[in-house]
Amino acid sequence: MGENCLSGKNNGNKGSGTEAYRELEGYLEQAMAFQTALILLEWDNETLAPEAAGGNTARVQGTLSAAYQKALTEPKAAELIGRCQDEIQKDGDGQAYTEAQRAVVREAAEELRQLSCIPPEEYRAYQELVSESARIWAKARAQGDFEAFAPTLKKIVDYQKKFAGYRARNGQKLYDVMLDTYEKGFGMKELDEFFGILKAELVPFLRKVMESPVRIPDDFLTGNYSEEDQRKLAEYLAEYVGFDFSRGVLAVSAHPFTTALHNRDVRITTHYKEQMDSSLFSVIHEAGHGIYEMGIDDSLTQTLAGQGASMGMHESQSRFFENIIGRSEAFWVPLYGKVKELFPEQLKGVGREMFVKAINRVEPGLIRTEADELTYSLHVLVRYELEKLLIEEDLDVEQLPGLWADKYEAYLGVRPENETEGVLQDIHWAQGSFGYFPSYALGSAFGAQMYFHMRKVLDFDGALESGHIEEIREYLREHIHRFGKLKTSKELLKDMTGEDFDPKYYVKYLKEKYGRLYQIEN
Amino acid sequence: MGENCLSGKNNGNKGSGTEAYRELEGYLEQAMAFQTALILLEWDNETLAPEAAGGNTARVQGTLSAAYQKALTEPKAAELIGRCQDEIQKDGDGQAYTEAQRAVVREAAEELRQLSCIPPEEYRAYQELVSESARIWAKARAQGDFEAFAPTLKKIVDYQKKFAGYRARNGQKLYDVMLDTYEKGFGMKELDEFFGILKAELVPFLRKVMESPVRIPDDFLTGNYSEEDQRKLAEYLAEYVGFDFSRGVLAVSAHPFTTALHNRDVRITTHYKEQMDSSLFSVIHEAGHGIYEMGIDDSLTQTLAGQGASMGMHESQSRFFENIIGRSEAFWVPLYGKVKELFPEQLKGVGREMFVKAINRVEPGLIRTEADELTYSLHVLVRYELEKLLIEEDLDVEQLPGLWADKYEAYLGVRPENETEGVLQDIHWAQGSFGYFPSYALGSAFGAQMYFHMRKVLDFDGALESGHIEEIREYLREHIHRFGKLKTSKELLKDMTGEDFDPKYYVKYLKEKYGRLYQIEN
């Protein structure tokens, strides 16, 4: 696909679309409007809506969800999607359909298939189960009582397997079907290899880090950091890295997240904690997601192809901003003065070098969302291996807590003392999200590969040191963000770096950075 | 209608509805969900959405509006509405339909008629004009240039007259059609009488007030009132008067307003100014609207009958809380200490009596939204007389500025020096809202009539003085709020007070209160 696919300079009929496409657009416009309303309702629920609103608002959400599904699956829409697919197949030279239109039809067909292949009554029963399960999980987690959640989890796993069976094509394995939902082209074959390398390289490397005599103090990161000043720093940093506040909003929620109504209305949240680097990096992380959404081309936003390419590609951008940029020495050269200005007392006697070391301190822990950059993917590894056992080997859910603890001990050297900080920590399984976790690690690896490539084509550290982060951001926009779902994550990576995905860069990046920090000879 | 109409204890088939009604409910459920989404989008636009979101979000709003209209007007829905109407007509003894269901069908039929009677292409052209006109008006207002707005206003008036012609029944006059949209049963006949009394009584009374030797200082209300402390007071007062924060939200917007997703999600806004009583009373005013929406019965919320009875009845509640309660002596007895606590410096030497006098100071001004309680309805009178001339006498819009100034001088004794503080001050006409203004004055009059009634049935001042405002609020909930649109404003007033609407109470209330304050002999 040429670089000009988004230019909008189309010849002849191209751009306005065929008759079938234009008619389909009416249905898709509706579906997108309902989806946008659902996104806003969810944002509002997490950030503002009053406590008692729940039940009544859920009814509205249910009706809008049904309207969304109906807009895409009603016979006329389904017929039009089929006609457009036929036209595209015959449109070899690309006269009738633009790349964007092809992507929209492809996504619509995929969505239609996902929505149509599950018998409605089963789907409804499953939805009820899932809306219940988050509550059951939250209670079980609070009480550290996996037994109370296990029967529900078992039912969810069974439904997920059944649904994956409906969705499987050409004898696909069930866990491959699930993985494919989040990351096209990354099935068990690719992920076994990926996680195999991580395990072989990072587990022994982490052991060396832990045995290193280097001690990094970071006690000054926790303490009397007022929420007001943390908020000021958060807004400053978000804007600095490129989150455009004329097109975006920063709010507070229990768990940080990013959402977008379209490319001119992108919303991120954070939460403020005693440990100041927690919100600081969560804001840069979410700003990375936000910058991706803001960078999606105008011709794609508000269409089914107008979101990030995949979960993993999204995570690659957020983690790129958070870690590769945000936890680098160079990034803080023009910025550390601002931090000291806001917190002169709290950071008294703490120089930039000491600060940057502290925000990179490695400490294997039990909680994924609090993990440092080095150990993060090992948390994901545990989950990948367990999901694979659950789905492909019919592992009894009762065995999860024990296996979880064993794997944490083996890979991270720590063992949970209770289920709250063990198998119950993530909401994902309670929501039926199996196959989602690997994207977190893949994203980090995508980012590292981009990083080594960008160091060849631009002065990466120089840009950061001189406060010209926009050189990096614009490069990402040009090669990743603007394409939305026009390309898969594999294609984006290949087109940008000239190479297929290769996990070696991620390992190299981590071993070089943390080898330096902990003075480990390679 | 008996008091138990909302109890939900129905006999036999009653409650679940006929087959036609149940089928209609599916369409209405959709329509309500789209409407709720539109309400949330509008709230979000006013309070939070980023500046650049406008165009893309407008597209979503357009699609949702169309979906709302389609849900109500598509042939099957229209047919079901007709069938339900027939069934209700035959259902003399009320076996088949509950009161709530009757109200829903009535509102659906009314909405269908409003949406169907205007040719779609004319309506679309009008919508475009109106979406343009707010911008033209805002610019004209900023520049004090009525000439720049006049041609657009003329077009809006012409469309409004044409549409009123389509909507007119049995030879209704055009302005009566418009008035009826906002307040059933209050046409020109009723309003001529109402405003006639106000003019005859209040214009000379205001002159006496202005000639009174009584001087009321209020300079201490303006000054160093921090936004943070004003916010604290606002939240305290809103909760005190009965705005339930577990079912509601208070935010900031350019102009204060109230909106509701349903009876468990009610949202009010304010803005903080140098003059502390501005936000203070705007919050109590909006809390009054909010308490109304929160009080609507569970069986009605999320239906077409689940909003306030009318514009005027809504305004009666907000102005009741703001003025009759909020500007009374008794209200501040248990509360003034809290105000002093928040603003000890700013209110040094200002006792409760002095404070209450200050917040009741009469000062005829040019701006309706800043008017005191006594002069408020005279601002509305000017607009009523001008609207009547525009619609019924074909007044040339060019004559508006001069007539506006003359009427202000005649009724309020002040004359605008420019059009910004004159005819251009309100957005209503730019939005095509003709017939809306009278509701503001009617609401005040409804409230005064309720007040005199309530003084007979409960110890009004005693409840306020002892901090038991809930006795008053619950009475209003019981007799007004919970009914939603089950009754018209006329019916609500009659059922509560035992009398038909009578403007004498409003005049009596104002003359007694301000006669006392300004020591005027009656």
Q: Is A278 helix (H, G, I), strand (E, B) or coil?
A: helix
Judging contacts by C-beta atoms under 8 Å, the chain A residues touching residue B261 are 53, 56-57, 60
Query: Beta strands B265-270 and B258-262: pairing type?
Result: antiparallel
Measure in Å the smallest separation between the Cα of B439 and chain A Cα atoms. Answer: 30
Report pLDDT for B11.
38
Interface test with B, best of A56, A239, A250 (most B CBs within 10 A): A56
Asked if A33 and B261 come within 8 Å (Cβ–Cβ), the reply is no
Of B461, B169, B186, the C-alpha closest to B309 is: B186
Provide the shortest C-alpha distance from residue B245 to chain A (in Å): 7
Q: Which residues of A touch B (CB under 8 A)?
A: 29-30, 32-34, 36-37, 40-41, 44, 48-57, 59-60, 63-64, 67, 244-249, 251, 261-266, 301-302
For A467, the token pair is: 């406060």
Question: Cβ separation of B33 and A248 shorter than 8 Å?
Answer: no
pLDDT one-digit tens code per residue, B235-266: 999 999 999 999 999 999 988 999 999 999 99
Q: Is B138 strand, coil or helix?
A: helix
Nearest to A249 among B48, B263, B266 (CB): B48
**Are B36 and A60 an interchain contact pair (Cβ–Cβ within 8 Å)?**
yes
Q: The tokens of B103 are what?
A: 């109200």
Which residue numbers of A are catalytic? Answer: 286
Q: Can you tell me which residue has the tokens 């709720």?
A: B36
Residue A361 has, within 13 A of its CA and on its CB side, a CA count of: 17
Contact A245 B63 (CB under 8 A): no
Residue to mutate among A47, A63, A69, A291, with most B CBs inside 10 A, is A63
**CB-CB neighbors (< 8 A) of B34 in chain A:** 37, 64, 67
Hey, which residues does B258 pair with through a beta bridge?
B268
**Residue A250 parent element (H or E):** strand A248-252
pLDDT score of B93: 73
Quote the tokens at residue A482.
């603007």
Write down the pLDDT at residue B63. Answer: 93
Phi, psi (degrees; rounded to nearest 5) at A188: -60, -35
Kindly list the residues from chain B whose CB atom is less than 8 angstroms away from the CB atom of residue A245.
50
pLDDT at B54: 84
Average pLDDT score over residue span B285-306: 97
User: Do residue B264 and residue A37 have CB atoms under 8 angstroms apart?
Assistant: no
Task: Mean pLDDT check: name the lowest of A13-27, A95-109, B366-380, B478-492.
Answer: A13-27
CA distance A30 to chain B (A): 6
Neighbouring residues of A186: CB distance < 8 A, sequence distance ≥ 6: A179, A180, A194, A312, A438, A442
Q: Which chain A residues are closer than 8 Å to B266 by Cβ?
A: 50
| Domain ranges across chain A | 3-116, 219-362+459-483
Size of interface A-B (CB pairs under 8 A): 127
522 residues of chain A, pLDDT tens digit each: 333 445 444 434 445 789 999 999 999 999 999 999 999 999 999 999 999 998 899 899 999 999 999 999 999 999 999 999 999 999 877 789 999 999 999 999 999 999 999 898 898 899 889 888 988 999 999 999 999 999 999 999 999 999 999 999 989 999 999 999 999 999 999 999 999 999 999 999 999 999 999 999 999 999 999 999 999 999 999 999 999 999 999 999 988 999 999 999 999 999 999 999 999 999 999 999 999 999 999 999 999 999 999 999 999 999 999 999 999 999 999 999 999 999 999 999 999 999 999 999 999 999 999 999 999 999 999 999 999 999 999 999 999 999 999 999 999 999 999 999 999 999 999 999 999 999 999 999 999 999 999 999 999 999 999 999 999 999 999 999 999 999 999 999 999 999 999 999 999 999 999 999 999 986
User: Residue A48: its chain B contacts at CB < 8 A?
Assistant: 249, 251
pLDDT at B441: 97
Per CB-CB distance under 8 Å, the chain A contacts of B57 are 261-262, 264-265
The minimum CA-CA distance between A216 and chain B, rounded to whole Å, is: 40
For residue A365, give the nearest of A317, A321, A425 by alpha carbon: A425
Cβ pair A36:B301 closer than 8 A: no
CB contacts, 8 Å: A32 with chain B: 60, 63
Task: Tell me what pLDDT residue B219 has.
Answer: 96
Q: So what's the pLDDT on residue A152? A: 97
- The mean per-residue pLDDT over the stretch B457-480 comes to 98
CB contact under 8 A, A53 and B245: no
pLDDT value, residue A6: 52
Q: Give the distance from CA A282 to its chain's centroid.
A: 13
Strand order in the sheet with A265-270: A248-252, A265-270, A258-262
Per the annotation, the verdict on B19 as an active-site residue is no
What is the crossing angle of helices A19-47 and A99-116, to 10°? 70
- Residue B260's closest chain A neighbor by CA? A53
Note the pLDDT of residue A475: 98
CB contact set of B177 (below 8 Å; sequence gap of 6+)? B164, B165, B167, B168
Provide the shortest C-alpha distance from residue A247 to chain B (in Å): 5
Residues B63, A30: C-beta atoms closer than 8 Å: yes
What is the pLDDT at residue B42? 92
Interval B139-143 mean pLDDT: 95
pLDDT at position A15 is: 57
The burial class, CB within 10 Å (0-12 / 13-18 / 19+), for B262 is buried
Most B CBs within 10 Å, among A34, A40, A43, A60, to test the B interface: A60
Question: Could A247 and B52 be called an inter-chain contact, meaning their C-beta atoms sit closer than 8 Å?
Answer: yes
- Choose, out of B27, B45, B46, B48, the residue to mutate when testing the contact with A (most A CBs < 10 Å): B48
B60/A67 touch (CB, cutoff 8 Å), yes or no: no
Residue B15: predicted pLDDT:
57
Q: Which of B29, B258, B259, B264 to mutate to test the interface with A (most CBs of A within 10 A)?
A: B264
Q: Which amino acid is at B189?
A: K
Q: Please judge whether A53 and B301 are an interchain contact, meaning their C-beta atoms are less than 8 angstroms apart.
A: no
Are A41 and B40 an interchain contact pair (Cβ–Cβ within 8 Å)?
yes
Contact B56 A302 (CB under 8 A): yes
| B262: closest chain A residue by CA | A56
pLDDT of residue A1: 36
N-to-C CA span, chain A: 41
pTM: 0.92
Q: Where are the alpha helices (DSSP H) in A393-465?
A: 400-412, 438-457, 460-465
> Considering only CB atoms, which chain B residues are within 8 Å of A55?
264
The answer to whether A281 and A331 have CB atoms below 8 angstroms apart is no
Range B27-31 average pLDDT: 96
* Interface predicted TM-score of the whole assembly (ipTM), two decimals: 0.91
Question: Which chain A residues are Cβ-neighbours of B264 within 8 angstroms?
Answer: 50, 52-57
Whether the CB-CB separation of B134 and B255 falls below 8 Å is answered with no
A265 and B33: CB-CB below 8 Å?
Answer: no
Of residues B286, B293, B315, B387, which has the active-site annotation? B286
pLDDT at B1 over 60: no
Measure the CA–CA gap between A343 and A336, rounded to whole angstroms: 11
A156-160, B5-9, B278-282, B304-308: which range is least confident on average? B5-9
Q: In what order do the strands lie in the sheet with B265-270?
A: B248-252, B265-270, B258-262
Contacts of A238 in chain B (CB under 8 A): none
CA nearest to B251 within chain A: A48
| A424 exposure class (CB count in 10 Å sphere: 0-12, 13-18, 19+) | buried
